[in-house]
């Protein structure tokens, strides 16, 4: 490949499968740009969720947030796994990725309207734009990869049929909105299992783990940005720094601990087959959603402390402690095998989750959550050190 092709992309390459164990397989600059654009949609969904929570519309806000976040997460996830197997980086590939980015920006524009007013028109069209671009990508792969053609065609056909369903849903009566959404979500998540059963695509375990880690990192960064904006607003309203100091300390400590917990595991070792891959991919819906919700909950608590919002003390605290508990739970489950979950050494994670939920009813729940999260990090370090010590001792005695 020439230097100009490397910098600007070749005009066209056959979309053959990349080796599943290719050396030095890392995220590309295009994938990182793709993530940053998608985080725009995450930020809009999180801001709208924060507004609903602050107004006391907890049930409505949680449901709307879950629905909007599905569109963001699912489109991101499908591109990520496809790119792991078929990243040709030629001009058609880059242009189709641009179409998906444009769709993500449309989703971002419609996130607040969908979440707050239950009008999913804009967000549906943005989602369909992203998914139809993926249909084209899969058809390209089907043409160039005869060994996995059946799987690629299944992906293309399955995605296309479901997109027809999403568009048709816009014309249905309002009462049908939630049931049809649930049916279409089940159809969406069934497509990969159906397609991969024909012939597994050559996704790269290390590349997938890195891509998920990078997006988690970006979402946690967006959480800090949202919290910073909330603190800035409070200070502009002449709130005293002492009034929100515990929130700032607790929030920063919590997010840093969540980052530490997520990246303290060897994720590629868990991606050993189709079942593990599906659990990993689907489980990150709650990882990403809870990470973004932590920022919304922290902003709600800042507003509540300065006299804004319509929530009780405990309800405001729960907007922060619950997503933290969800994040810890999912990271614990995703990074451990079934036999490891039965280990007595790993009871510290369930205990930490219960403790985080319990501090909802304390006078300083955000600070207490941060201290508990930090304590969990310290405990996991001690357990890991003891495990390594035991392993080293057994090796030396052989």
Q: What tens digit of pLDDT does each residue of 11-50 get?
A: 888 888 888 888 888 899 999 999 999 999 999 999 999 8
The model's pLDDT over 240-259, given as tens digits with 9 standing for 90+, comes to 666 678 888 899 999 999 99
pLDDT(236) > 70? yes
CB-based contacts of 307, cutoff 8 Å, min separation 6: none
Q: What is the pLDDT of residue 278?
A: 83
More confident residue, 344 or 294: 294
Closest CA to 257 of 354, 356, 346, 336: 356
Phi, psi for 90 (deg, rounded to 5): -95, 180
Best-predicted range by mean pLDDT (52-61, 123-132, 347-356): 123-132
Q: DSSP of 365-388, one letter per residue? A: HHHHHHHHHHHHHHHHHHHHHHHH
Q: What is the pLDDT of residue 388?
A: 67
The 3-state DSSP composition of the chain as helix, strand, coil percent (nearest 5) reads 80, 0, 20
Q: What is the pLDDT of residue 398?
A: 45
Is 2 exposed, middle or buried (CB count within 10 Å of its CB: 0-12, 13-18, 19+)?
exposed
Q: How many CB atoms lie within 10 A of CB 384?
A: 13
Whether 329 contacts 361, CB under 8 Å = no
Q: Which of 122-131, 225-234, 331-340 has the lowest mean pLDDT?
A: 331-340
Best-predicted range by mean pLDDT (280-294, 303-317, 381-395): 280-294
Q: What is the pLDDT of residue 213?
A: 92
Q: Which two tokens stand for residue 340?
A: 């490891």
Whether 150 contacts 198, CB under 8 Å = yes
Closest CA to 154 of 98, 123, 119, 198: 198
The model's pLDDT over 141-185, given as tens digits with 9 standing for 90+, comes to 999 999 999 999 999 999 999 999 999 999 998 888 899 999 999
Q: What is the pLDDT of residue 21?
A: 83
More confident residue, 67 or 342: 67
Please report, for the chain, the start and end positions of each structural domain, with discontinuous segments joined by +. 27-196, 205-393
Q: What would the mean pLDDT of 127-151 be, rounded to a whole number?
A: 95
Strands (E), the chain: none
Q: Count of alpha carbons within 13 Å of 138, Cβ hemisphere only?
A: 29
pLDDT(102) > 90? yes
Q: What is the pLDDT of residue 320?
A: 95
Average pLDDT, the chain: 87
The model's pLDDT over 274-307, given as tens digits with 9 standing for 90+, comes to 787 888 889 999 999 999 999 999 989 888 887 7
Query: How big is the chain by its Cα radius of gyration, in Å?
Result: 22
Query: How far is the first Cα of the chain from the last one, in angstroms, to the nearest whole number?
Result: 50
Q: Which of 125-139, 181-195, 198-212 has the lowest mean pLDDT?
A: 198-212
Closest CA to 114 of 223, 175, 41: 41
Q: What would the mean pLDDT of 342-358 be, rounded to a whole number?
A: 80
Q: What would the mean pLDDT of 51-67 be, rounded to a whole number?
A: 90
Q: What is the pLDDT of residue 346?
A: 67
């Amino acid at each position: 490949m020439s230097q100009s092709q490397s910098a600007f992309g070749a005009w066209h390459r056959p979309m053959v499968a990349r080796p599943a164990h290719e050396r030095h397989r890392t995220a590309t600059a295009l994938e990182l740009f793709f993530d940053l654009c998608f985080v725009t949609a995450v930020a809009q969904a999180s801001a709208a969720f924060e507004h609903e929570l602050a107004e006391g519309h907890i049930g409505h806000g949680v449901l709307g947030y879950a629905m909007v976040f599905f569109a963001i997460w699912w489109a991101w996830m499908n591109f990520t796994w496809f790119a792991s197997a078929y990243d040709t980086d030629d001009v058609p590939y880059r242009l189709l990725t641009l179409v998906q980015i444009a769709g993500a920006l449309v989703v971002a524009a419609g996130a607040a309207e969908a979440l707050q007013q239950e009008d999913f028109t804009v967000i549906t069209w943005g989602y369909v734009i992203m998914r139809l671009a993926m249909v084209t990508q899969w058809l390209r792969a089907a043409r160039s990869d005869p060994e996995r053609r059946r799987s690629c065609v299944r992906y293309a056909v399955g995605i296309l049929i479901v997109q027809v369903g999403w568009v048709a849903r816009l014309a249905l009566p309002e009462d049908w909105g939630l049931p049809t959404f649930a049916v279409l979500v089940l159809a969406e998540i069934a497509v990969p299992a159906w397609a991969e059963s024909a012939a597994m695509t050559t996704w790269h375990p290390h590349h997938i783990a890195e891509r998920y880690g990078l997006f988690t990192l970006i979402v946690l960064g967006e959480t800090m940005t949202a919290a910073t904006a909330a603190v800035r607003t409070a200070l502009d309203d002449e709130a005293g720094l002492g009034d929100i100091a515990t929130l700032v300390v607790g929030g920063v400590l919590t997010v840093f601990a969540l980052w530490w917990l997520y990246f303290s595991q060897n994720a590629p070792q868990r991606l050993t087959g189709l079942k593990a891959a599906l659990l990993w991919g689907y489980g990150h819906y709650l990882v990403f959603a809870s990470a973004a919700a932590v920022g919304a909950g922290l902003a709600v608590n800042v507003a509540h402390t300065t006299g804004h919002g319509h929530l009780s003390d405990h309800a405001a605290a729960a907007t922060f402690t619950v997503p933290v508990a969800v994040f810890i739970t999912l990271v614990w489950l995703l990074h451990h095998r079934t036999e490891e979950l039965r280990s007595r050494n790993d009871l510290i994670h369930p205990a930490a989750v219960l403790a985080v939920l319990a501090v909802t009813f304390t006078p300083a729940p955000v600070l207490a959550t941060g201290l508990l999260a930090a304590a969990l990090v310290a405990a996991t370090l001690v357990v890991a050190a003891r495990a390594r010590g035991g392993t080293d001792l057994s090796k030396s005695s052989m």
